[in-house]
Structure 1
Amino acid sequence: MSHHSPEVRVEDVTWSVAGTTILDGVSCVAPEKKFTGLIGPNGSGKTSLLSAIARLERPDRGRVLLGDDAVVDLSRREFAQTVALVEQHSATELELTVGQVVELGVIPHRRGWARPAGTGSGDAVDEGLAAAGVTHLRDRLWHSLSGGEKQKTQLARAFAQRPCVLLLDEPTNHLDVSASLDLLTLIRRRGLTTVAAMHDLNLAAMYCDHLVVLDGGRVVTEGPVPDVLTEELLADVYGLDAVVQPHPRTGRPTVTLCGVVSDTERALS
């Protein structure tokens, strides 16, 4: 497929495990070169949808398209040259340095892939390290890194893969506020078609262009952040009593939590 950042389109994806429906007729779009956030309560299907897009799980029905190409029609190498995944828990028992971890991202482009002149694997590793701001950590051992440094290293590995589409599962999980902002800024700056499962609503509001809201394995709504992130949605989907107002500097929605909506209030709404 052509090497640009395509739209990701999910069409009627249904997936069950042992008789339990995990994804139920999910259809949504991640616009090209935009940052799409998958949001919803725990157990709503965010990680499962990401897994379907990443070809980690094969749905029972429906399909996932990258531009005009169904992901199931791509070879393993074509897919790995197109899509990079940063998972929530990345661990290795091996004594690898940061540079060696990032070099793993180059594997899909080795052996017979015709590289343009001057774009060897060393360049890709250097680019990935620089883009994720971890060049200074190249010789550090993976096990010696902080949580934020590990996430940036995984991001560098993904960037070294030179993907068109970037998938992330809870990328800021276990990170402090500063590290979270830093990481999401790096991701946005790359300008790729990005799909991230996110649990922090204010970070999603700050960094995403497009939101897909899941609940019970179904899409509740999707669209631009201001259209989706409303007080009504937070009450209906999350059971939250919240105030949503424009940020005084950016104009983007900000969520101020007031409490939990009572069962009586939810029944009346």
Structure 2
Amino acid sequence: MTHHSPDIRVEDVSWSAGGRRILDQVSCTAPAGRVTGLIGPNGSGKTSLLSTIARLESPDSGRVLLGDIASTAMHRREFARTVALVEQHSATELDLTVEQIVELGAIPHRGGWARPAALGTGELVTDCLETAGITDLRHRLWQSLSGGEKQKTQLARAFAQRPCVLLLDEPTNHLDVSASLELLELIRARGLTTVAAMHDLNLAAMYCDHLVVLCDGRVTAEGPTESVLTADLLAEVYGLDALVQPHPRTGRPLVVLCGTATETAERAAP
């Protein structure tokens, strides 16, 4: 695998759990060096697709390619040097400091899978802490952190992997508005091939170059954000009555929610 950020190609991936098909012949592409947003209702398969790309789940059929290389053909260490995942719920029972957690990200680049205490603190960790804006948390214990602080710590750990591909599951879930914007600006600035599952449609519109829309485990739409995010799509996939218009400052799509399609129809009824 070359060290530039590759595109990600998902080809006819299906995956089932508990007798239910979660992903149904999913095919989509995340363009190299761009931010791709995964959007869709709860239960549409966003987290499952991320988990499949991250090799946490093995698909029943189909494959995932990073550039021209099937992800399953990569050695575990090489894959860890290439792909970093920031999960929505990250937990550890160990009493680690923020610094030690970020150090864990550097393990794939070391000679062995050393214990956290054996890893030295270097410029990489310091840089990742600074980049994520959590230098002041360096010596804090994980269990003492707020949800937002934990999310930033996990992002710094992901940066310490020096990945070409960054996968994020609801990266702004625990953050206030200002911190959400700051985090997404930071992610965009890295220039990595990024796939982020997102609930907030306006944040997706602001920061994603490309969108993949999932519904019931299938791809409903895919393409540039401006082309995909339409009022018709929001009505079809989410059952929403919404206006989508160019943002007066940025020109990117701006979603104005008017209610559910059912409520709007009831109000319009004589």
Q: Is the 8 A contact 2:241 2:264 kept in 1?
A: no
Structure 1 residue 81 displacement after superposition: 0.4
Kindly provide the amino acid, as one letter, of the partner of residue 189 in structure 2: R
**1:94-173 mapped onto 2 (5 Å cutoff):** 94-111=94-111, 122-173=122-173
Deviations, residues 92-146 of structure 1 (Å, cap 9, x unaligned) = 1222111001001011111179xxxxxx972221221122121222112222222
Cross-structure match for 1:117 = none
Change in 2 beyond 3 A, CA 1:121/1:12? farther
Could you say what secondary structure the match of 1:36 adopts? strand
Whether contact under 8 Å (1:22, 1:48) holds in the other structure is yes
Per the alignment, in what secondary structure is the counterpart of residue 206 of structure 2? helix
Read off the aligned partner of 2:240 and give its amino acid letter. Answer: L
Distance 2:248 2:144 in 1: 40
Change (3 A) 1:152 1:252: same
Q: Residues 149-191 of structure 1, C-alpha deviation per residue, up to 9 Å, x if partnerless?
A: 2111110000000000000001111221111111111111111
SS at match of 2:140: coil
1:223 alignment partner in structure 2: 223
SS of residue in 1 equivalent to 2:149: helix
Taking structure 2 as the reference length, the TM-score comes to: 0.92
* Equivalent pairs, count: 259
Within the alignment, does 1:239 sit opposite 2:230 as a pair?
no
1:210 paired with 2:218, answer: no
Alignment root-mean-square deviation, CA = 1.6
CA distance in 1, matches of 2:42, 2:18: 20
In the alignment, which residue of structure 2 is the partner of 1:116?
none
- The alignment partner of 2:106 has SS state of helix
Q: In 1, Cα distance between the equivalents of 2:78 and 2:84?
A: 11
Deviation at 1:264, TM superposition (A): 10
Unaligned runs of 5+ residues in structure 2 are 114-119, 266-270
Residue 36 of structure 1 and its aligned partner are, at CA, apart by 0.3
> Secondary structure in 1 aligned to 2:105?
helix
Please give the alpha-carbon distance, in whole angstroms, between the structure 2 residues aligned to 1:65 and 1:121. 34
Between the two proteins, what is the percent identity of the paired residues? 76
CA deviation vs aligned residue, 1:229-251 (integer Å, no higher than 9, x gap): 00000000000000111111101
Map of 1:174 onto structure 2:
174
Aligned to 2:268: none
Residues 32-57 of structure 1 deviation map (CA, whole Å, 9 limit, x = unaligned): 00000000000000000000000000
- Shift, 1:19, TM fit: 2.4
Could you list the runs of 5+ residues in structure 1 that have no partner in the other structure?
Answer: 114-119
Stretches (4+) displaced over 6 A: none
Q: Secondary structure, in 3 states, of the residue corresponding to 2:3?
A: coil
Q: Which residue of 1 aligns with 2:50?
A: 50
TM-score, normalization: structure 1?
0.93
Take 2:168 and 2:230, find their aligned partners in 1: how far apart are those partners? Answer: 24
Aligned to 2:117: none
Do the aligned residues in 2 keep the contact of 1:124 with 1:162 (CA within 8 Å)? no
Q: Secondary structure at the match of 2:42?
A: coil
Q: Report if aligned partners of 1:30, 1:195 keep a CA contact under 8 Å in 2.
A: yes
User: Quick one: structure 1 residues 34 and 121, their matched pair in 2 at CA, closer, same or farther if it must change by over 3 Å?
Assistant: farther
Matches of 2:264 and 2:59, distance apart in 1: 37
What letter corresponds to residue 229 of structure 1 in structure 2? L
- Distance (Å, rounded) in 2 between the aligned partners of 1:90 and 1:235: 33
Partner of 1:201: 201
The CA distance in 2 between the partners of 1:22 and 1:209, in whole Å, is: 26
Quick one: distance in 1 between partners of 2:264 and 2:153?
47
- 2:192 maps to 192
Distance 1:156 1:31 in 2: 23
Indicate if the aligned counterparts of 2:151 and 2:174 stay in contact, CA closer than 8 A.
no
